[in-house]
Amino acid sequence: MKSNYLRVIVTFLAGLWFLAKLRSYKVAVEGSLDLCLLTFLIPVVMELTLTRQDAYDMVVERIGVNNLLKHILAVEAGMRRLAEHFGEDVEYWGLTGLIHDLDYNETKDDEPRHTYVTRDWLKEYELPEEMWRAIHAHPGHTPCETRMDWALYAVDPATGFIVACALMHPDKKLASVDEEFMLRRFGEKRFAAGASRENMAACSQIGLELGPFLMLVREGMLRINDELGL
């Protein structure tokens, strides 16, 4: 924790130095003081308020070590890989995936409360509204608007679908599942019927065709293959 505070102080000082440089070069940017300070401080504040380790510990405490935990980690991995692909903040997108189902055990019989209980639990962390919008949108409570919204909406069912593909494959290995295999199974309505085809096809909203999208999510999942047991 001390190292995190040191990092925020160093970053703040770096921000002040940058602003001084702007003044010295007489760069006229409307609202530059506020904008630059926010640019420097917001990513650090997010890291300080809820770290990946703290979020993971909460997930284990609330969810347990089971298949649902594997699903949550797979979604996190898929979101991280998509963030890389689009040049987005990998840690930010990953954290959104990690906490997306935190309250599942609490709300599985009360779907309208799903994700809102999580928000209540984590209110002290003051997470960005953008993150909550994506989390609320993934079960359809609110409409998707941003790239991250659509990404989580599509990744959530895709991970279960990809796991089903791996288990169906002759050698039952995720590494052996290719794009052609997944697309064939996607067309079989009875295969992994619980994985919404509509949600997965929404990858078009972020400029990806279905095959490349599934392969990106698979690549993310392969990075945690040992944790997924595939």
Where along the chain do its domains lie?
A: 2-47, 52-228
> Across residues 39-51, what is the average pLDDT?
53
For residue 148, count other CB atoms closer than 10 A to its CB: 26
Label residue 13 by pLDDT band (50, 70, 90): low
* Neighbouring residues of 68: CB distance < 8 A, sequence distance ≥ 6: 101, 104, 105
What Rg do the C-alpha atoms of the chain give, in angstroms? Answer: 20
Euclidean distance between CA atoms 109 and 190, whole angstroms:
25
Q: How far is Cα 20 from Cα 25, in angstroms, rounded to an integer?
A: 9
Whether the per-residue pLDDT at 125 is higher than 70: the answer is: yes
| Average per-residue pLDDT for the chain | 85
Asked whether residue 219 carries a pLDDT value surpassing 80, the answer given is yes
The whole model's pTM is what?
0.79
pLDDT band at residue 131, thresholds of 50, 70 and 90? very high
pLDDT(204) > 80: yes
9 compared with 98, residue with greater pLDDT: 98
Specify burial of residue 190 (Cβ count, 10 A radius: 0-12, 13-18, 19+): exposed
- As a whole number of angstroms, the distance between CA 172 and CA 149 comes to 31
The fold of the 52-228 domain, in CATH, is Hypothetical protein af1432 (1.10.3210)
Q: Which amino acid is at 91?
A: E
* pLDDT bracket for residue 14 (50, 70, 90): low
Span of 8-17, 97-106, 188-197 with lowest mean pLDDT: 8-17
Of 166 and 15, which is predicted with more confidence? 166
CA–CA separation, 59 vs 107, rounded Å? Answer: 14
Answer whether residue 19 shows pLDDT above 80: no
For residues 148 and 9, the model is more confident at 148
pLDDT above 50 for 28: no
- 14 or 113, which is more confident: 113
**How far, rounded to the nearest angstrom, does the alpha carbon of residue 170 sit from its chain's CA centroid?**
30
